[in-house]
Amino acid sequence: MQINHPGRVIPKDLADTTWAPAAVPIDIGGFSSMYPTPQPMTAQEIDETVERFAVTAQRAQQAGFDGVEIHAAHGYLLSQFLSPLVNRRDDRWGGSLHNRARLLLDVVGAVRERVGTGFAVGVKLNPADFQCGGFDTDDARDVIKMLADVGTDLVELSGGSIESMATAGSPADGRTLAREAYFLELAEQLVATSPLPLLLTGGIRRRAVAQQVIDSGVAMAGIATALAIDPTLPGQWLAGSDVQVRPPRTRFRNKMVASAAVQAVTSRQLARLGAGKPSKTPYSPAVALLLERLVRARRRRNYLKWHTAA
């Protein structure tokens, strides 16, 4: 089970107050106003966050999961602390890379202590933030070594954030493959020095590309969107078939809207699979995005009603 804290990546219509290492607002052009300027976290709030990660992992273990993955990528809270662009603190959680990694290391250590041995603890990490002056591959190399010392079993490499849409194959600095295995080039730079097995995800939808990832020395190839579209894909690949799925296509020119529309197709498909419906994608990205907005509006009303009552 993946566990995460979004930090400052929460829209205003869900929360007036958000947390981050420093009061650095999200910069996504015309959509920036959708997100409030975050409040810098206090030492007490940081300690409470570490405890909440540990409690969540313990509950996952009690529920029967085999492990947890701590999300420290994609511009969420733990990634925000790692980023020198967002983390502008001058205390023990800011400045040097070791200080910026302190929250992540404390979270992993607390989780490992709570769940004991025999329970997998992974970390999802950006090999780079794809932003000038941000968390880079050299930083990732050093953080992976730090993670090995606190009981991490596996590191998944993914990339980008709400401010750099690398997860949609459109990073700000153009350093990923155009269409498939977006982060393979960066993963290859980390394999040789990594003390931990690495998992690479992002854009993999063909057997040959998955094999290329494994041949590079990466321990595992992760499949996300393609797996949601066709859950039988890995089985077919293992049987020797070269079947592939085509990613959803959209004509939206705005990268953020286009990414949201593609993610909406995946989300709608996962909802269908969860309801026991046939494995197919009956909606165009535009229709899927509209349906997701309607579903989100209903969930938002229910959340605010619950939050008010609480």
Residues 207 and 262 occupy one common structural domain = no
- How confident is the model at residue 279, as a pLDDT? 77
Q: How confident is the model at residue 170 (pLDDT cuts 50, 70, 90)?
A: very low
Task: Express each pLDDT in 155-166 by its tens digit.
Answer: 999 887 888 754
Residues 227 and 111 occupy one common structural domain = yes
Task: Express each pLDDT in 44-58 by its tens digit.
Answer: 999 999 999 999 999
Q: Supply the mean pLDDT for the chain.
A: 90
Kindly give, in sequence order, each residue whose CB lies less than 8 Å from that of residue 147, ignoring residues fewer than 6 positions away: 104, 105, 108, 123, 125, 155, 196
Residues 233 and 270 occupy one common structural domain = no
Residues 285 and 169 occupy one common structural domain = no
Enclosing H/E stretch for 186: helix 184-191
Residue 189's nearest CA partner among 130, 250, 128 is 128
Q: How confident is the model at residue 235 (pLDDT cuts 50, 70, 90)?
A: very high
Residues 256 and 277 occupy one common structural domain = yes
- How confident is the model at residue 96, as a pLDDT? 97
- How confident is the model at residue 165, as a pLDDT? 57
When divided into structural domains, the chain yields a total of: 2
Can you say whether residue 301 is alpha, beta or left, with left for phi > 0 and alpha for psi between -120 and 50 degrees? alpha
Residues 192 and 257 occupy one common structural domain = no
Determine the structural domain holding residue 265 and report its residue range.
248-310
- How confident is the model at residue 174, as a pLDDT? 42
Q: What is the mean predicted confidence (pLDDT) over 247-254?
A: 83
Task: Express each pLDDT in 112-168 by its tens digit.
Answer: 999 999 999 999 999 887 787 789 999 999 999 999 999 999 999 988 788 875 444
Whether the pLDDT of residue 26 is over 70: the answer is yes
User: Which residue among 196, 213, 245 closes a domain?
Assistant: 245
The enclosing domain of 66 has a CATH number of: 3.20.20.70
Output the pTM of the full model.
0.90
Kindly give, in sequence order, each residue whose CB lies less than 8 Å from that of residue 240, ignoring residues fewer than 6 positions away: none
* Residue type present at position 18: T
